[in-house]
């Protein structure tokens, strides 16, 4: 009897819980994280490491289940890794970066943690999102345990200061959003998201909200809290005003005048009407809308990016009306965005000459595969959470049922290919930990919506008032 047949004898939740338990990494006899995947049929590559971003859904599950020691150990070790020496060729990045991943290695009977800050990664990409997810997870741990003592430790306050110095420091920019390079987030390959991608902006906002709760309001902490408050108001206004797309806004952009000068112009970012893609004029529903994938001088990325939109709902970055509009759009474009496996990382895929130029002819990011329109089960927990927040838990239940019908039989793959997500990803690792954790977290959130308080935020009325 093979592994798949044995697993089929258990309930889906029991399978997922056992697989998650088997993925835990131990360091000096303490659980400190989980490997990215346990696919015995494929080369390990870096999937035998613990990725900070990938571990977060599992950490949320552990916190809800009361297994707080794993998350505690993870936070302790990653703070120490933040100060680990890192160098790319002759260049040493500034302090503050969290590693993308780490692994346990043994030498002469002694265990060591080896971190990857992007120096070992494909394309040498900088893991900007690791810093942001780490702050979000620290706040979740504090809320789950009601224990501020960990966050108030000197090394944790220093870690927060390092991260915020990078994110809030002086820059050559006029916008409150965070400027990042391509490949700096979940989409860790060249996909044309350099600039101000929505995914990073939603995480940045959540990290600022979390840091404000965690910083000790004395000396440096008090100054940082003031800086955060000053940033949040303009940030919320910027995202809600300029990233939002619906049929009304699409009509406005269609009639924009370009190359205008002065403070009172309507087309403030000089977006050319001809840049509106043809597919969008047919795809945009009469009711609903979404936040654009990116916005910068002379550029709006009209693609729909799931993580950024769903997290914007969860952390209250989008307005209440916009949150409802995003869920309405997902409901009306269900076959495109959810299909046979929740859910598309972005829509639509880029193909043809655009694919060659934008991705550099990346053989892994072919149209409707991987980060170029592939379907990722990890998005399930975010869809469930966002749907609950706007009072549409039925959509979360529907999505979970679709995932449950396939994932165990398909051996918990990392992602799916094809326009409707019918094919297991051509390079997907099976028994992917964050796929497993995503299903468990979705189930836990449906069973008890109170757990959303670990992850999400209420409307920041103070920041909104400052922005008006």
Range of the domain at 220: 127-467
- Decide the pairing of beta strands 416-417 and 423-424: antiparallel
Radius of gyration (Cα) for the chain, nearest Å? 21
Residue 351 buriedness (CB in 10 A; 0-12 / 13-18 / 19+): middle
Average pLDDT of 124-141? 93
Per-residue pLDDT tens for 305-318? 999 999 999 999 99
User: Which residues are paired to 6 by β-bridges?
Assistant: none
User: CA 185 to CA 129: how far, in whole Å?
Assistant: 5
Residue 433 lies in a domain: yes
Per-residue pLDDT tens for 355-403? 999 999 999 999 999 999 999 999 999 999 999 999 999 999 999 999 9
Per-residue pLDDT tens for 250-306? 999 999 999 988 888 999 999 999 999 999 999 999 999 999 999 999 999 999 999
User: CA 147 to CA 140: how far, in whole Å?
Assistant: 11
The alpha helices in 41-117, defined as continuous H runs, are 52-64, 68-82
Nearest to 197 by CA among 117, 273, 322, 291: 291
Confidence of residue 468 (pLDDT cuts 50, 70, 90): low
Q: H/E/C letters for each residue in 171-192?
A: CCCCCCCCCECCCCCCCCCCCC
Residue 348, preceding peptide bond in cis (omega within 30° of 0): yes
Q: What is the DSSP letter of 375?
A: B
Yes or no: say if 286 and 242 are a contact pair by the CB < 8 Å rule: no
For residue 272, give both structure tokens. Answer: 């050319």
Yes or no: say if 93 and 16 are a contact pair by the CB < 8 Å rule: no
Residue 105 lies in a domain: no
Output the CA torsion 293→296→300→304 (10° steps): 0
pLDDT attached to residue 117: 86
pLDDT attached to residue 1: 40
pTM assigned to the model: 0.95
Nearest to 116 by CA among 181, 191, 54, 42: 54
For the chain, helix (H) and strand (E) counts, in that order, are 18, 13
Residue 104 lies in a domain: no
User: CA 70 to CA 48: how far, in whole Å?
Assistant: 18
Confidence of residue 72 (pLDDT cuts 50, 70, 90): very high
Matching residue, tokens 């029991």: 14
Element (H, E) at 288: none
Cβ partners under 8 Å of residue 391, min gap 6: none
Q: 100-104, 317-321, 332-336: which range is least confident on average?
A: 100-104
User: Cα 324 to the chain's mean position, in Å?
Assistant: 20
Residue 36 lies in a domain: no
Q: What is the DSSP letter of 424?
A: E
User: CA 138 to CA 132: how far, in whole Å?
Assistant: 10
Matching residue, tokens 């924009």: 256
Please give the mean pLDDT across all residues of the chain. Answer: 92
Checking if the pLDDT of 9 tops 60, the result is no
Per-residue pLDDT tens for 446-465? 999 999 999 999 999 766 66
Output the domain CATH number for residue 367.
1.50.10.10
Distances (CA, A) of 134 to 48, 99, 434, 454: 20, 10, 16, 13
Per-residue pLDDT tens for 190-233? 999 999 999 999 999 999 999 999 999 987 889 999 999 999 99
Residue 243 lies in a domain: yes
Count of structural domains within the chain: 1
Residue 343, preceding peptide bond in cis (omega within 30° of 0): yes
Yes or no: say if 290 and 300 are a contact pair by the CB < 8 Å rule: no
């Amino acid at each position: 009897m093979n592994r798949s047949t044995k697993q089929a004898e258990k309930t889906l939740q029991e399978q997922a819980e056992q697989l998650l338990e088997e993925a835990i990494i131990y360091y000096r006899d303490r659980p400190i994280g989980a490997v990215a995947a346990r696919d015995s049929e494929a080369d390990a590559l870096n999937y035998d490491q613990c990725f900070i971003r990938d571990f977060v859904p599992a950490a949320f599950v552990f916190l809800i289940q009361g297994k707080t020691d794993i998350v505690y150990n993870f936070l302790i070790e990653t703070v120490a890794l933040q100060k680990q020496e890192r160098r790319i060729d002759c260049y040493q990045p500034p302090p503050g970066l969290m590693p993308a991943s780490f692994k346990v290695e043994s030498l002469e009977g002694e265990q060591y943690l080896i971190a990857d800050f992007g120096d070992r990664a494909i394309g040498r990409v900088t893991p900007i999102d690791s810093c942001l997810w780490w702050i979000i997870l620290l706040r979740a741990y504090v809320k789950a345990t009601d224990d501020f003592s960990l966050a108030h430790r000197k090394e944790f306050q220093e870690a927060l200061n390092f991260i915020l110095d990078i994110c809030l420091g002086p820059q050559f920019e006029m916008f409150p959003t965070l400027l990042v390079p391509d490949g700096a987030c979940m989409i860790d390959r060249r996909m044309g998201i350099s600039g101000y991608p929505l995914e990073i902006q939603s995480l940045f906002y959540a990290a600022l909200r979390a840091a404000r709760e965690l910083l000790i309001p004395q000396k440096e902490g008090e100054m940082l809290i003031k800086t955060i408050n000053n940033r949040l108001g303009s940030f919320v206004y910027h995202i809600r005003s300029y990233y939002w797309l619906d049929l009304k806004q699409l009509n406005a952009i269609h009639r924009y005048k370009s190359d205008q000068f002065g403070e009172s112009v309507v087309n403030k970012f000089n977006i050319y009407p001809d840049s509106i893609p043809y597919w969008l004029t047919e795809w945009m529903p009469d009711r609903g809308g979404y936040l654009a994938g990116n916005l910068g001088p002379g550029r709006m990325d009209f693609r729909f990016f799931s993580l950024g939109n769903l997290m914007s709902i969860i952390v209250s970055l989008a307005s209440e009306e916009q949150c409802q509009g995003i869920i309405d759009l997902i409901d009306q474009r269900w076959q495109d965005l959810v299909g046979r496996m929740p859910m598309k990382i972005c829509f639509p895929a880029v193909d043809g000459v655009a694919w060659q130029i934008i991705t550099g002819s990346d053989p892994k990011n072919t149209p409707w595969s991987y980060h170029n329109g592939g379907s990722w089960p990890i998005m399930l927990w975010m869809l469930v959470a966002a749907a609950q927040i706007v009072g549409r838990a039925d959509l979360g239940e529907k999505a979970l049922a679709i995932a449950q019908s396939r994932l165990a039989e398909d051996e918990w793959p990392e992602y799916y290919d094809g326009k409707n997500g019918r094919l297991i990803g051509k390079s997907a690792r099976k028994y992917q930990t964050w796929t497993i954790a995503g299903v468990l977290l979705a189930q836990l959130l449906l069973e008890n919506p109170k757990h959303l308080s670990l992850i999400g935020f209420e409307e920041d009325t103070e920041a909104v008032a400052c922005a008006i």
